[in-house]
Amino acid sequence: MTDLETTSTLRSPSGYDLTPPDAAERAALEADLSPEEKRVLLAHGTEAPFCGTLLGEKRAGVFCCRECGLPLFRAGTKFESGTGWPSFTEPVDAAHVRAVVDHSHGMSRTETRCARCDSHQGHVFPDGPPPSGLRYCINSIALAFVPEGEQLPDPLRRGDGRA
């Protein structure tokens, strides 16, 4: 690794590489997505409520970005919000989720995106339970669940696949 590569790597406080994928890496990541995953992750779509495969997921583990594998939410922060989408009180690391003001659909809300690949995840609202008071309302299709003790996805081969 050169000095330039070392100094240009962006790290989260928890040690994950947040450097955005280059054009070739992005193309490879996007080629692995289904049409519906592309609609949600890349075109900022929303899956239908109560249809996501992770809504009822209750096992211990980590919910990672479906596109780049960055760990976004721990199972212990997931709660039943009644909204029809998986909801979480806080991210694994605040640096892993980027907030963007969203004025679509005639309202103002805060969109959440993966801090590494910039894929759309969902929205965050100020009506969640303690301790954060936040409700990260996330599309199941934007996430990959990894049960506790299993290797995290590392499609960018950055050595971030630690459990």
Q: Which residues are catalytic?
A: 137
Instruction: Please give the biggest Cα pair distance in the chain.
Output: 50
Q: Contact 68/21 with Cβ under 8 angstroms?
A: yes
Q: Contact 62/96 with Cβ under 8 angstroms?
A: no
Give the torsion sign (CA, 135, 10, 39, 92): negative
Q: Residue 78: enclosing H or E segment and its boundaries?
A: strand 78-79
